[in-house]
Amino acid sequence: MGKKFTNPYISEMDNYKDIIITEKISNHPVKPFPDTQPLKSIIDIGCGSGNFLRKYAQNNPDFSFYGFELRFKRLVKGAIKFKKRDISNIRLIRDRAENIRDWIKEKSIDEIYVNFPDPWAKKKRQLKHRLVTREYLTELFKLLKPTGHFIFKTDHPIYFQWTMDRLNIHDHFKVIEYSDDLHQSEYDKANIPTEFEQLFKGKGFPVYYIRSIVQP
* Closer residue to ligand SAM (CB): 38 or 46: 46
Q: Compute the C-alpha angle 202/206/208, nearest 5°.
A: 130
Verify whether residue 118 is a known catalytic residue: yes
User: Interface with ligand SAM includes 137 (CB under 6 A)?
Assistant: no
Question: Between β-strands 41-45 and 20-21, what pairing exists: parallel, antiparallel or unpaired?
Answer: unpaired
Closest CA to 90 of 29, 21, 191, 12: 21
State whether residue 89 is helix, strand or coil.
Answer: coil
Judged by CB under 6 A, the chain residues 50 through 79 that form the site for ligand SAM are 68-71, 74
Active-site residue (options: 18, 62, 95, 118): 118
By the rule CB under 6 A, 105 interacts with ligand SAM: no
Site for ligand SAM in 25-54 (CB under 6 A): 46-48
**Whole-angstrom distance, CA of residue 60 vs CA of residue 121:** 36
Q: Does 165 bind ligand SAM (CB under 6 A)?
A: no
Residue whose CB is less far from ligand SAM, 89 or 115:
115
Using CB under 6 A, which residues numbered 185 to 204 contact ligand SAM?
Answer: 194-197
* Residue from 43, 97, 112, 214 in contact with ligand SAM (CB under 6 A): 97
The runs of H, that is alpha helices, within the chain are: 8-12, 51-58, 72-84, 134-143, 157-168, 195-202
- If the CB atoms of residues 129 and 174 are measured against ligand SAM, the closer one turns out to be 129
Question: Could you give the strand order of the β-sheet that contains 41-45, starting from the edge strand earlier in sequence?
Answer: 20-21, 90-94, 64-69, 41-45, 109-115, 144-154, 208-214, 173-179
Given candidates 115, 154, 163, 212, which one binds ligand SAM under the rule CB under 6 A?
Answer: 115
Per CB under 6 A, does 101 bind ligand SAM? no
Tell me whether residue 91 or residue 169 sits nearer to ligand SAM (CB atom): 91
Active-site annotation, residues: 118
Q: Residues in the site for ligand SAM, rule: CB under 6 A? A: 46-48, 68-71, 74, 96-98, 115-118, 194-197
